[in-house]
Each structure stands twice: as C-alpha cells, then as structure tokens.
Amino acid sequence: MASWWEITVPVTGAVAAGWLGAWWQGRSSLRLLREQLQDAERVRREEADAARAARAEVLRDEKLMRLYDEKRRAYAAFAALTDQAIRLRPPDKGASRDEYAAKIHELSSSLGDTWGLLTLISPTSVHMLALDFAVEFDGGNDPDELLILSSNFVDAARLDLGVDVVPVSPGTSAEHVAEVGQ
C-alpha cells in the first residue's frame, strides 16, 4: 500500500497548481479589464471632444448666419431709405413746405439710425459709403450724386454679403438692374 505522502504530494501539487493558475488567470483578467476600461474611457473622451467641437462649429455657423441675416436686413433697410431719399422731391408751389421739411427730417433721422447700426455690423468700407450718402442727403441733396452714392453702397453691401455685384451706371433703371441681376 502506498504511503500517505505518495498520494498527498501529487494532490497538493495539483491543488496548488490549480490555485496558482486561478490566481494568475484572475490577475490577468483584471489587468485586461483595466486596459479595456482605459481604452473605453479614452474613446469616450475622444467622442465627447469631437461632439463638443462639432457643436461649437454649429454654434459658430449659427452665429455667423444670424450676423449675415442682420447685415442683410440692415443693408436692405438702408437701401430702401436711399431709394426714398432719391425719390424725394421738393413740393410744388401750392404744397406745404412744412410737410416736406418733416419728411426730410424723418428720412434723415432714419438714415442716421440705420447708419449707426451699419457702423456696428458692417465693414468700414460699407458704413463709410452709407455715411457719405447720409451727409450728401443732409447737405446737398443732389439726386444724381445720391444715385451714384446709393449705387456704390449697394455694390459694397452686395460684395460684403458675397452676392455677385451688378455694375450700375447712373441713369440705369431699376427694372434693368433687376433683369441683369437675375
């Protein structure tokens, strides 16, 4: 019959090897799990950074579009005022001069207010042309000069907005400009 140690040594060796293998496997599994978690965290951070950058770009684009729309509205308002100023003529002999003076004052005030807005949102070249128009309207009020200044303003505004500029010479009808622009 075999002695007790002949049976115990191999069994103890097998049990110890089993425990050692299990411990080693557990340790390796924890290390791999830690690496997986670190990789997952890194990927999550990269995705969050990419999403944050995309959102910032969208917000920047929205801000630029709001500014573009604001510029477009201000340019359209000033262009409409320039059209009114060009069409404004002194009253006939029978008409009231006070009413004409009130229209000039109201139009001049509106031009000044719109110019103030243009100063804040447009490049210097555009708001300086608007100022030239307002000064000419307040000072000389020469219809031909106002038409040239209005045309220059519209060209500069279209250029700032990225719209193709249609060359306009004084005396060109608005219908012809509209046809050429389309």
pLDDT digits (tens, 9 = 90+) for 94-125: 667 777 788 888 988 998 898 888 888 888 88
Mean pLDDT over the full length of the chain: 83
* Mean pLDDT for the stretch of residues 176-181: 46
Rounded CA gap, 47 and 60, in Å? Answer: 20
CB atoms within 10 A of CB 107: 18
Q: What is the mean pLDDT of residues 62-72?
A: 91
146 closest CA partner among 99, 91, 81: 81
Task: List the domain boundaries for the chain.
Answer: 66-181
The Cα 37–Cα 31 span in angstroms is 10
The model's pLDDT over 117-144, given as tens digits with 9 standing for 90+, comes to 888 888 888 889 998 888 888 887 777 8
Residue for token pair 């604001």: 70
What pTM was estimated for this model as a whole?
A: 0.62
| Positive or negative torsion for Cα 138, 142, 147, 149 | negative
CA dihedral 10, 15, 16, 19 (to 10 degrees): 160
User: Which pair of tokens denotes residue 56?
Assistant: 């910032």
Please report, for the chain, how many H helices and E strands are present, in that order.
Answer: 5, 0
